[in-house]
Amino acid sequence: MNQSSSTSSLSAIGVIAVAALSICLACTGCKDVPRHAEDPASASAPAPTPTPAPPPSQQAATQSLSPSAQDLIVCFGDSLTAGFGTDPGESYPDVLQQLLDARGYHYHVVNAGISGDTTKDGLDRIQRVIARHPQLVVLEFGGNDGLRGLPLEQTQANLATMIQQLQQSGAQVALAGITLPPDYGPDYIKKFDAMYPALAKKYHLHFLPFLLKNVYGVPGDMQSDNTHATAQGNKQVALNIEQLIQPLLKH
């Protein structure tokens, strides 16, 4: 077959194909061809537009600031750590995160405070903290033991065991102390207060004698129960903790 005949044949086939397609569309009312049955959702939703990947520099920045890439600081304690009586985002660990971010540190702060916890409760969940492989743990327990009049020997032993287990895991430990209201009697309070410096000396810890330093007794910084800091007070508590752990931080 010569080239002229071939071209004529192809043109004829094209005309027939166009005519057949026109008849088909007319019979179906110009509806779209049905989608595959195995993809029912695609009939009602448009296909998603792929999100372009960020440039390499932005990817690196995101990775360096992600929790998995940051050193972990766990604030481990009771209601004073949990932020009892304040709104979400107003606990001292929340404010501490903001302070560290503003100062250029790349740490991820986790609030592991539970209201009402005693040192025994803390000891019961210490392995959950260790499992997160923190670089630093701020340990704050004992207030509920004292308020319940629990044996101080056991309280101190529980704190010591938590410190030992954290240090054995490779975590650095900073200890935050607390005290009791004066109506608990001077003898009991004296023994209670003495626990914290004794533990700090024995285990070579950075130590804050009183978590509520420059907060307790300051108008607007304490809640009506005279035990827990307000949102305003937690800002100062966060500053106290930042000063406590600053020698342990790295840029």
Closest CA to 140 of 157, 163, 124, 108: 163
First vs last C-alpha separation in the chain: 81
Strands (E), the chain: 71-77, 107-113, 136-140, 172-176, 206-208
Q: Choose, from 79, 117, 145, 206, the residue flagged as catalytic.
A: 79
- Cross-strand bridge partners of residue 222: 229
Judge whether 36 counts as a catalytic residue: no
Q: Which of 32, 187, 225, 251 is catalytic?
A: 225
DSSP, res 136:
E
Question: How do beta strands 172-176 and 206-208 pair?
Answer: parallel
Strands 107-113 and 172-176: unpaired
Q: Is 225 a catalytic residue?
A: yes
101: annotated active-site residue = no
Active site residues: 79, 225, 228
